[in-house]
Amino acid sequence: MSNIKEEYSKRKKDIKKHLESFNNKNETEKLKELLFCVLTPQSNAEKCWEAVNLIHEAKSKSDIQNILKGRARFHNTKSDRILSAIIIWPRISSALKTKDKRELRNWIAETIPGYGLKEAGHFLRNIGHSENKIAILDRHILRNLKSEGVIEKIEIKGHKGYIDIESFMLKFSDEVGIPSDDLDLLFWHKEHGRYFK
């Protein structure tokens, strides 16, 4: 635990600055983050963000498919999900006023095609709405939780498994005195040497 605290102490200023960049996004920027999280499963995050920045130029489903080719896996399925997410966006935008962040995350996970708890949490964090109440249990998080002795296996079994590991991470976050959003970025930097979404 002492090592992770030392590492956080070194990177805290940069992490806080990066998290602040997620706040005060306008509607267009929030929609882009929603679409980004549609694309990221099993795909390269940087290429997905590149695709999102091109999608606003698309005029048809085939345009979106062409944009996604080479940038996101399962481009045909994800192009359908992108179109659905754009249609659903007004409902999502209105729901962001919900105060209970876990309730909001769960609802978004059920509402957006292709989303699960991880993607919904990722979206909320990327628009400054997670408030350290939820966890984004990506593989890099799971690997680091295992190395810290928080979990025994790098696997999640269903909805209940996700919620259980999330509670372990949030408890660990409290124990080491590092907010969960900060901890996510600390783990990401540890594996990739940089910060991203």
Burial class from Cβ neighbours inside 10 Å (0-12, 13-18, 19+) for residue 38 reads buried
Of 135, 139, 143, give the one whose Cα is nearest residue 170.
Answer: 135
Write the pLDDT tens digit of every residue in 105-127.
999 999 999 999 999 999 999 99
Domain with CATH 1.10.340.30 in the chain: 27-126
Is 100 catalytic? The answer is: no
Is 174 catalytic? The answer is: no
Q: Is the pTM of this model over 0.75?
A: yes
The CA distance from 67 to 59, in Å, is 11
Report the CATH number of the 2-21+137-192 domain. 1.10.1670
Catalytic residue chosen out of the listed positions 32, 78, 138, 184: 138
Catalytic residue chosen out of the listed positions 118, 181, 184, 197: 118
Domain with CATH 1.10.1670 in the chain: 2-21+137-192
- Indicate the class that CATH gives domain 27-126: mainly alpha
Write the pLDDT tens digit of every residue in 13-71.
999 999 999 998 999 999 999 999 999 998 998 999 999 999 988 889 999 999 999 89
Structural tokens at position 109? 């996970």
